[in-house]
Chain A
Amino acid sequence: MPKRKKIMLIDDDEQQLAITRELLEYEGYDVLTHRLGFGASSAVRANQPDLVLLDINMPALSGEKLSEIIRANVHTKHVPIVFFSSNDEVSLASSVTKYAVRGYICKGNIADLRRKVAAYLQEPHTA
């Protein structure tokens, strides 16, 4: 049986983390969660997930800044990052370009969540 893909969720909202985790576990993924930005990049490095879903609006350290940290580190820059946020699509799209992450997923659309996660996990990794 092929190894289960590992997804890491980073968000400041405990409830959101729990819900998304369960939805993704239903899809057959291994899901790790990390609340808030602090320590998140170490957690990414330690766990080497196949995909990171990163919330943007977090206290003190925003998801955007965190994505820069993860991408700057030689041990984590290969990990695909996807912004997972309540922000509107236009703003998310420009954040994706600005911070050169893999893509975005709008919170609140479960079908999208499933489809896009599957698609991002299929894509070949580029360092």
Chain B
Amino acid sequence: MQTLMTTENILPVGELITSDEQVPPQMIVNHVAEKFFGTTELDAVAVVDGKEPVGLVTRTKLLFTLFRRFGFELYGKDPVIAIADTAPLLVAETERLDVVIDRALERPPQDIYDEVIVTCPKGLYRGLLSVKQLVIQQGNALASSVLQRELAGERARELEKINEMKSQFLAHITHELRSPVNVIIGLAELMRLAIEKGAVDQVKDRLSQVITSATNLRAIVTNVLDLSKIEAKKMQVAVKPFDLAAVVSDVIENARVLVRNKPITINPAGTAGPVHVASDPVRVRQILMNLAANAAKFTESGSIFFALSVGAHSVSVSVIDTGIGIKEEHLDRLFTAFSQIEDVKTKRYEGTGLGLVIARSMAQLLGGELTVASAFGKGSTFTLTLPYKEPLKEENHAEAQKDHAH
């Protein structure tokens, strides 16, 4: 039989009959068995009474019956109709192939591959249809359509996940932006009321609160804009030579302010510097500040080290803390927006959760990478790696002079 194309699915099964083997109902089982033993390609025979199909005997089921204990003794001398399947699937020769296959496959698992008996419109035996053969030949068509279905299903699930993330993202941004705005509005109204009463001192106090809230808001807006720029591929970097060690020192100073009264020691480690690199000092500082802020936020006690190391082709800064760490299963999501907060309605830690996303994108824009290693309960190490070329000695000296002049 030629390989079927999917368009041939609608062929009438009459044209696809594989054999017209038949035995009369009274033929002895042993003789039917001999028929099977003698013809290796024979898979099934129809039991036909006159011209009417009354049953089906398949090789597998026959042998199964006979090779059971005492099978031959029990059934060998019986007329074959006694052990035949007397309710086989009968289809008219005009029936479409795809319909027939569907019906065949709907049968109980042990019967799925049984041959299908094809009859003429009057119900007389015409021949057998091998479901096995058809399925194998249809195999490719079936498999690819199953695969396509699965792929389509997966795509749909992916899209839904992305959609869900976008909704959550928007919900987060909305809330993160609105909260400080609402605080500012409330404070402003209170100041107005205070002025009406002439309570100037209250106004002074409120004003500094307003400034703090507005500053927070500014930071969040900056984050959201940065992220939008990154998404729109419009974030720019300005590469120039600078001393990476100096930037690290500056970030360390800031980190000390961030941890405030917590019992955490913050120190540099590794290469003492100066380390002259060519990159964007503003962006590098932003990235390191984000790492420092995270370390400060998620560490209650212990230490935070800023380890600077210089390799042949790259330079790296690792921020190593003894904080709460990150669970293995959460590591993937770390660099996706807002994954820090599972659900805006039950946020655990303050912050937009945008920092790492932006930091990593910036690192990549600079030709480097941002990676993380962590042990839950023990701490985390975030490493910024940047491309590095050993500059000439004179350049070093000239840049060092320039840096000090600033």
Q: Are A23's CB and B186's CB within 8 A? A: yes
Given A57-B344, A60-B348, A62-B346, residue A107 in contact with residue B182 (CB < 8 A): yes
Please give the residue numbers on chain A whose beta carbons come within 8 Å of chain B beta carbons, in ascending order: 13, 15-16, 19-20, 22-23, 26, 56-64, 86-88, 91, 107-110
Residues of B within 8 A of A (CB): 171, 174-175, 178-179, 181-183, 185-187, 189-190, 193, 209, 213, 343-348
**Which one of A15, A23, A57 contacts B347 once the chains associate, using CB atoms below 8 Å?**
A57
Question: Which B residue's beta carbon lies closest to that of A60?
Answer: B346
Which of chain B's residues have a CB closer than 8 A to the CB of A107?
178-179, 182
Which partner residue on chain A sits nearest B209 by CB separation?
A: A15
| Main DSSP-derived SS at the A contact region | loop
**CB-based contact A86/B182 at 8 Å:** yes
Q: A22-B190, A63-B345, A88-B174 are in contact. List 11 more A-B contacts (CB 8 A).
A: A16-B183, A19-B190, A23-B189, A23-B190, A57-B347, A59-B346, A86-B174, A86-B179, A87-B171, A91-B171, A108-B185
Q: A86–B175 contact, CB under 8 A? A: yes
Closest A-B pairs by Cβ, 4 of them: A19-B186, A108-B182, A86-B178, A62-B345
Distance in angstroms between the alpha carbons of A86 and B189 in the assembled complex: 17
A-B contact pairs, 23 of them (CB 8 A): A13-B179, A13-B183, A16-B182, A16-B186, A19-B183, A19-B190, A23-B189, A23-B190, A57-B344, A58-B346, A59-B346, A59-B348, A62-B343, A62-B345, A62-B346, A86-B179, A86-B182, A87-B174, A107-B179, A108-B178, A108-B181, A109-B185, A110-B186
Contacts of A91 in B (CB 8 A): 171
Q: How many angstroms from the CA of A87 to the CA of B345 in the assembled complex?
A: 10
Residues of A near B348 (CB, < 8 A) are 59-60
Report the separation of the CA atoms of residues A101 and B39 in the bound assembly, to the nearest whole angstrom: 79
Could you tell me if A57 and B345 are in contact, using CB atoms closer than 8 angstroms?
yes
**Beta-carbon nearest neighbor of A13 in chain B:** B179
The complex places the Cα of A60 from the Cα of B348 at a distance, in Å, of 7
